Structure 1
Amino acid sequence: MMDNKMIVEGSLRSEDGGFSFLGRLPYYRGLGLSMIEDIQVTVDGVVQPRETVRFSAHGNTYTLDEMETVYDDRWNFGEKARIIVLNGELAAGDHQITFAVRYRVSYLPFVPTTKDTKDLALAA
């Protein structure tokens, strides 16, 4: 798979009350947003609370709970979405980010979870 391409290098930035980075879906066919079961972000070994994670693409921003009922929007293979975490701002410097996505595919008898970990720098 394309797990090692999920996090876009150099995309970490500060957000009001948090931070964000660009992420890609590694599944080759793309998925409707309602098929994304969970997105987990870990920063420097600390898992960020699910309720603080947002997904932003095509001019829309969703909580993970809202994504469960979004049937008219997709996340296509290779498309960059902004993953936002509203759990306090990060200090400038290097941070280890792990980005994991769990999704449903109708013909698979299991629920795949893919993840990528990268060291990203946040500018001062």
Structure 2
Amino acid sequence: MMDNKMIVEGSLRNVEGGFAFLGRLPYYRGLGLSMIEDIQITVDGETIAREDVRFTVRGKTYTLDEMETVYDNRWNFGEKALISALKPGGLGAGGHEVTFAVRYRVSYLPFVPTTKDTKELALAA
């Protein structure tokens, strides 16, 4: 439903210790952070380890393990979160194929959805 809007085009950049891009939640209602079970990032065929993924919303940064117990913060519909990956040296200049997948828990669904988006992004200047 919202999978093709997950990765914000033009947002890929190098940051201290790695790279980052903006991402949107692929669910129409927003969710508490504890309901985000996993975020997976793959760049140019290389999957980033779970422990190297960081999630930032409204100025607060979390590891994925920390998000499991965050009950007082949410990722709202349409809100852009900063999705970061620890990768020494970041990414090289030019285009990169980025895949962003989110697995989340919704109480009334009998399954755990995983939604993903893949885009070719150029490293922003």
TM-score, L = length of structure 1: 0.98
1:27 maps to a residue whose letter is Y
**Is 1:112 the equivalent of 2:113?**
yes
Partner of 2:122: 121
Q: Percent identity?
A: 79
- Using the TM superposition, give the Cα deviation of residue 98 of structure 1 relative to its aligned residue in structure 2, in angstroms: 0.1
Partner of 2:4: 4
- Residue 112 of structure 2: SS of its match in structure 1? coil
Aligned pair count?
A: 124
Partner of 1:35: 35
In the alignment, structure 1 segments of 5+ residues that lack a partner are: none
In the alignment, structure 2 segments of 5+ residues that lack a partner are: none
CA–CA separation in structure 2 for the residues paired with 1:47 and 1:123: 21
The runs of at least 4 aligned residues of structure 1 exceeding 4 Å deviation read none
CA–CA separation in structure 1 for the residues paired with 2:33 and 2:124: 31
Partner of 2:51: 51
Partner of 2:69: 69
CA–CA separation in structure 2 for the residues paired with 1:47 and 1:56: 20
CA–CA separation in structure 2 for the residues paired with 1:77 and 1:27: 7
RMSD, aligned CA: 0.8
CA–CA separation in structure 1 for the residues paired with 2:40 and 2:124: 23
1:116 maps to a residue whose letter is D
1:74 maps to a residue whose letter is R
2:68 maps to a residue whose letter is E
CA–CA separation in structure 2 for the residues paired with 1:48 and 1:62: 16
**Is 1:82 the equivalent of 2:82?**
yes
- Using the TM superposition, give the Cα deviation of residue 121 of structure 1 relative to its aligned residue in structure 2, in angstroms: 0.5
**Is 1:16 the equivalent of 2:12?**
no
- Using the TM superposition, give the Cα deviation of residue 123 of structure 1 relative to its aligned residue in structure 2, in angstroms: 3.8
